[in-house]
Amino acid sequence: MSRDLKIDIWYGPEQRFGHHGLPQKYLNIVGRAISPAGVNSVYWGLKGEMRPLSLGPSAFRLRSPGDFNIEVEAERLDEGQHTLRIVANDMDGDEVESIVKIHFTRGPAPALPMTIDWSAAANINDVAQVVDGLWRIEKGGVRPVELHYDRIIAVGDMRWTDYQVTVPVTFHGYSDIPVSYHWPSYGQSAGVLLRWREHYDWGDLWPRRGWNPFGGLAFYGWMRQHQDRRVYIMGGRGGYIATDDSGFGIELGRRYVMKFRVRSRDSGTSQYALKYWPAGEPEPSAWLLETEGQEGELAAGCALLVAHHTDITYGNVTVEPA
C-alpha cells in the first residue's frame, strides 16, 4: 500500500442519513482519490459487490481529478449500520482502501416549522445532506470550498409539499473561468430550489446528471458575460418562468435575506413567490416575483441550496408551512 495514494472522504468515515428526513432518492458519499502518480481507478461496494466509479474532472458534478460521488439508493438499504468499501488504484500499481460506516434511519418527514442552525452542527450531514461538492461550516453559515457546476446541499424531505424557505445569503464572488459561460453552465448563479427528489439517469453520464422535473428554482445570476444580473425563477420542466425587471441588484459582500415559497393549486400546477431584502431591514410586504409553475412539475420534494460557479454563504435555514 502506498503512503502517497489517498482517499479523502470529505464528510468523514462515519455518516448518518435519514435521521433528519430523506431529502432525495440517493445518499451521496463524496470525496477525492489522490496520487502523485495519477489515479487509475476507484471502486466501491456494499455487501461485497464492487462497482467502478467515474472520476473527475467533468463539466458537471465532478470538479477535479480523482473526484467521485457515490450514489447509494436509499430504497435498497435496511435501517441500521452499513459498511461501504472504497478501493483506489494508481498508475504505479499501488492500492488503498477506505471504509465508510453509513448509519441509516427511516423516519417521518421533519415537522414544520424547522430551523437548521449550522453553528450547532459538527458535520453538515448531521443536519442536511451534501449532494455535491466540498462545503464547510464557517461563521455565518455554510460555504462551498471549491467553486464548480452546481454545488448542492439538500434540506428536509421528499414528502414536503407546500412550504417556504427563508435563508440569509451573502454573495462573495463567482468563478470567471470561460467554461462557466458555456454549455452546460451558461453563467454563474446561486439560489434555492423547492421540490427536489433526485438526479435522473439520462443515459450518458455517471454520476447521474438529469435535473428535471423538479418544482421551481429561484436564483440570482450573472448571465451573458455579466451584462444581465438579475433574479430569475426557473420552472421544474426547464426554462425561465419569471424574470425580475425592476432593477434589483445584489451587492457582493452584503448580507441579504431570501424567501421562496411554493403553494399547490387546484389546477395541478403550483404558485411560486420570491423576495430578497437586505439583512437587518424590515421584510417587504410585497413579493419581488410571483408566478405559476409548469405542468408536469413535481408536487412534492425537499429544498436545495445551490451554488453554481458562485461563492456564497447560506445562513441558518428556516422552513415553514405555506
Instruction: Please give the grid coordinates belonging to residue 130.
Output: 451534501
Helix (H, G, I), strand (E, B) or coil at 311: strand
Fold match flag (6-104 vs 114-321): no
DSSP assignment of 257-285 equals EEEEEEEE-TTSSEEEEEEEEETTSPPPS
**Alpha carbon 169 to its chain's center:** 15
> Who wins on pLDDT, 268 or 81?
81
CATH of domain 6-104: 2.60.40.10
The candidate with the shortest Cα–Cα distance to 163, out of 112, 208, 125, 123, is 112
pLDDT at 224 over 80: no
CB atoms within 10 A of CB 183: 7
How wide is the angle at C-alpha 165 spanned by C-alphas 163 and 168, nearest 5°?
A: 170
Helix (H, G, I), strand (E, B) or coil at 217: strand
pLDDT at 176 over 90: no
Instruction: Please give the grid coordinates belonging to residue 87.
Output: 478501493
CATH of domain 114-321: 2.60.120.560
**Would you say 38 and 5 are in contact if contact means Cβ atoms under 8 Å apart?**
no
Helix (H, G, I), strand (E, B) or coil at 188: strand
Q: pLDDT-derived band of residue 182, with 50, 70 and 90 as boundaries?
A: confident
**Alpha carbon 237 to its chain's center:** 18
Average pLDDT across the chain, whole number:
95
- What pLDDT, in 10s, does the model give residues 192-221? 999 999 999 999 999 999 999 999 999 999
**Would you say 14 and 84 are in contact if contact means Cβ atoms under 8 Å apart?**
no
> What DSSP state is assigned to residue 24?
S
pLDDT at 3 over 80: no
pLDDT of the residue at 225: 53
| Domain extents in the chain | 6-104, 114-321
Q: Distance (Å, rounded) from C-alpha 231 to C-alpha 303? A: 18
Of the chain, the percentage scoring pLDDT greater than 70 comes to: 98
Helix (H, G, I), strand (E, B) or coil at 33: strand
pLDDT at 189 over 80: yes
pTM for this entry:
0.96
**Would you say 66 and 55 are in contact if contact means Cβ atoms under 8 Å apart?**
yes
pLDDT of the residue at 89: 97
